[in-house]
Structure 1
Amino acid sequence: MLSQKTTLPTADAALPGRTTPVTTDEVHFVSGRPLKGPHPEGFQTAIFGMGCFWGVERVFWSLPGVWVTSAGYTGGFTPNPTYEETCTGLTGHAEVVQVVFNPAEISYGDLLKVFWENHDPTQGMRQGGDIGTTYRSAIYYLTEDQKAEAEASRDAYQAALTAAGQGEITTEVTPAGVYYFAEDYHQAYLAKNPEGYCGIGGTGVVCPIGIGVPASGEA
Structure 2
Amino acid sequence: MLFSRHKTELVTPDRALAGRDHYEFDVPDTHYVTGRPIKAPFPEGYQQAVFGLGCFWGAEEVFWQQPGVWTTAVGYVGGVTPHPDYEEVCSGLTGHTEAVLVVFDPAETDYATIVAKFFEVHDPTQGMRQGNDVGTQYRSGIYYTDESQREIAERAKAVFAETLDGLGYGAVTTEIAPLQEFYYAEGYHQQYLAKNPFGYRCHSTTGITFPLEKLA
Give the TM-score band, short-chain normalised: over 0.9
Give CA-to-partner distance per residue, 1:144-202, whole Å, 9 cap, x none: 00000001011110111011111110000111111100000000000000000011231
Structure 2 residue 74 is matched with structure 1 residue 71: yes
Q: Is the 8 A contact 1:14 1:90 kept in 2?
A: yes
Identify unmatched segments of 5+ residues in structure 1: none
Letter in 2 for 1:92: G
Once the two structures are superposed, the pairs formed by residues 24-43 of structure 1 within 5 Å of their partners are 24-43=27-46
1:189 matched to which residue of 2? 192
Shift in Å at residue 4 of structure 1?
6.8
1:81 matched to which residue of 2? 84
TM-score (norm 1): 0.94
Structure 2 residue 124 is matched with structure 1 residue 121: yes
Q: Is the 8 A contact 1:125 1:133 kept in 2?
A: yes
Equivalent position SS for 1:12: helix
Q: Is the 8 A contact 2:45 2:105 kept in 1?
A: yes
Shift in Å at residue 37 of structure 1?
2.6
Letter in 1 for 2:99: V
| Segments ≥4 residues shifted beyond 3 Å | 1-4
Q: Is the 8 A contact 1:160 1:206 kept in 2?
A: no
Q: Is the 8 A contact 2:6 2:134 kept in 1?
A: no
Aligned residues: 213
Equivalent position SS for 2:137: helix
Separation in 2 of the partners of 1:70 and 1:205? Answer: 26
Structure 2 residue 24 is matched with structure 1 residue 11: no
Q: C-alpha root-mean-square deviation of aligned residues, in Å?
A: 1.3
TM-score (norm 2): 0.95
Identify unmatched segments of 5+ residues in structure 2: none
Separation in 1 of the partners of 2:27 and 2:82? Answer: 15
Separation in 1 of the partners of 2:46 and 2:145? Answer: 13
Equivalent position SS for 2:7: helix
Separation in 2 of the partners of 1:114 and 1:77? Answer: 28
Q: Is the 8 A contact 2:77 2:180 kept in 1?
A: yes
For residue 164 of structure 1, the aligned residue among 163, 167, 185 is: 167
1:152 matched to which residue of 2? 155
1:61 matched to which residue of 2? 64
Equivalent position SS for 1:55: helix
Structure 2 residue 50 is matched with structure 1 residue 50: no
Structure 2 residue 107 is matched with structure 1 residue 104: yes
